[in-house]
Structure 1
Amino acid sequence: MGTELTYGEAAAAGYDRTFAHVSARFVPALLRAARLASGMHVLDVATGTGLVAEAALAAVDPTGHVTAADISPAMAERARARLGDAPNVTIALEDGQSMSFPNESFGAVVCGLGLMFFPDPTRGLAEFRRVLRRGGRVAVSVPTTATRTYDGPVFLALARHAPPLAEATTRMFSLGDAAWLGTLLDDTGFRDVEVATEVQRFEKPSFDAYFEPYERGWGTAGQAYVALPDEGRRAMREEVRRSLGDTGGPIEIDVEIRFASGRR
């Protein structure tokens, strides 16, 4: 087992089945923070399977344009499958910390639940600012804490049962503090920085229904889980079950997401 979470074909294929229903609920707040409007040219960084880009397309209308960028070829292909028929969308393979776009190319830059995966988030924000036109806004969203995240219990258990992944899983929740996130944007040179928080409740009919995607190896956490030995998988599953307070009935999870935006 390596030291980083994987974002290859297996993880990309399972993302929509595992987590899209969660992240999709927070997309409207992200786009509001970016002040999207008809006719805008928008860059969606770390687009994943294209959920944010799809919503941005509707916001900018046919007169606008959306560029959906991701560092993972597998994720970019999933986004292409979702968005490919739209005449005003471009799919790009890009490292969010070092992009090929010219300076001041976009009227808005959005990054939904992606910045925390960057090895150097500050460098990523500097790139967002570089490609943003003067007066345009950036908007990012990140999880707050592992205990207020849909798959946080899985990642916390994974960090204990797969020690090589501990640092990578901890990094997922490294930007959740509101003051720290706002400071990052301030220090990068963004003005009129705003930080907001949104909480949504999710319910699954049972723990088995919640955990099934991970047992199938879907998504990044699922890929790491199925790579564990049998004993490790059993122990991790039981740990997640206890952490969610499973009593045999429905499982409820409150998910808290932080949003930060600023103007160039």
Structure 2
Amino acid sequence: MVEELTYKDEAAAGYDRAFAHVTTHFVPYLLRAAHIAPGMRVLDIATGTGLAAEAALNIVGLTGHVTAADLSPAMVAKSRERLRHSKNASVAVEDGQALSFSDESFDAVVCSLGLMFFPDALSGLAEFRRVLRPGGRAAVSVNTVPERSYNNRINLAVARHVPSLAVAAASVFSVGDEMKLRSLFEAANFQDVEITTETHRFVLPSFDAYFEPFEKGAGSPGQALVSLSVEARKAVREEVQRDFGDTGGAHRGRSRVQVSWRATITVARMTVWVLLCRTQ
């Protein structure tokens, strides 16, 4: 039985197919907000497969350096593969709540869709603050509410078969409230917090294009899905498909689906920027 959201080997292997289009859309906002520039030293924490780190490397150039770090060894392996040709990148297994880096090591810290997975977000933010140099900036993106989440339909359907997953899935949205975020960043000694919102509609060519990566175990939702019996997996697929309005006919599973992700952006000094991501 799945007790929590996890990122095992299969989850990491299929992550890009399931989520890369979402992550890469919002990464430019993240890097602009962090004021990433040539020559900077950047930490990308909760790097996943290294998408944000790769984008940051393209900006910092050969005079800068990017450290990509994640708690999951499977994700770190994928990130190391992605960045293997970059001489000014390093990749490491790191706990975002207890970073091994010295104080004031980085010009910027970015965290793309990762903070919501921290058991203690405040501890993570305090670590971001500690490793930032004076005047440095942190840029963070997180989900907002379940009904604006790219994969919440799957989490809810799976939770009907694995009730313990419901609690874990709900915890992903625990830092999505604007007032909660503001208080967390201020408690971590960030200042001048500002919040805005960004929305993007993702159009996928078919329901199959949306759902099949999860059927193969991609991401934590996929890991939860593949843990179920064959009958339960079929029931989950049918429930999610109905929720998308793909109810039958010769083109069942091949009809285009749309998911809108709304992002709320928070900016502060010594500095933090947060992107709250939602889907419709």
Same fold (TM over 0.5): yes
Distance 2:189 2:112 in 1: 20
Matched, 1:81 2:81: yes
- What residue number does 1:4 align with? 4
Superposition pairs of residues 48-67 of structure 1, within 5 angstroms: 48-67=48-67
Picking from 241, 252, 257, the partner of 2:258 is 252
What is the Cα deviation at residue 34 of structure 1?
Answer: 0.9
Distance 1:156 1:30 in 2: 29
Deviates more, 1:15-24 or 1:224-233: 224-233
Q: Is the 8 A contact 2:155 2:165 kept in 1?
A: no
Where in structure 1 do 4 or more consecutive aligned residues deviate above 3 Å? none
Q: Is the 8 A contact 2:33 2:139 kept in 1?
A: yes
Distance 2:84 2:267 in 1: 28
What value does the CA root-mean-square deviation take over the aligned residues? 1.4
- What residue number does 2:225 align with? 225
TM-score normalized by structure 1? 0.95
Which runs of no fewer than 5 residues in structure 2 stay unpaired?
A: 271-280
What is the Cα deviation at residue 165 of structure 1?
Answer: 1.4
- What residue number does 1:205 align with? 205
Letter in 2 for 1:23: T
- What residue number does 2:275 align with? none
Letter in 1 for 2:7: Y
- What residue number does 1:94 align with? 94
SS of the residue corresponding to residue 161 of structure 1 reads: coil
Which runs of no fewer than 5 residues in structure 1 stay unpaired?
A: none
- What residue number does 2:109 align with? 109
Distance 2:72 2:217 in 1: 18
Distance 2:93 2:133 in 1: 21
Q: Pick the structure with more helix per residue.
A: 1
**Percent identity of equivalent pairs:** 58
Matched, 1:136 2:147: no
What is the Cα deviation at residue 156 of structure 1?
Answer: 2.1
Number of aligned residue pairs = 264
Distance 2:50 2:267 in 1: 20
Distance 2:99 2:267 in 1: 20
Q: Is the 8 A contact 2:2 2:227 kept in 1?
A: no
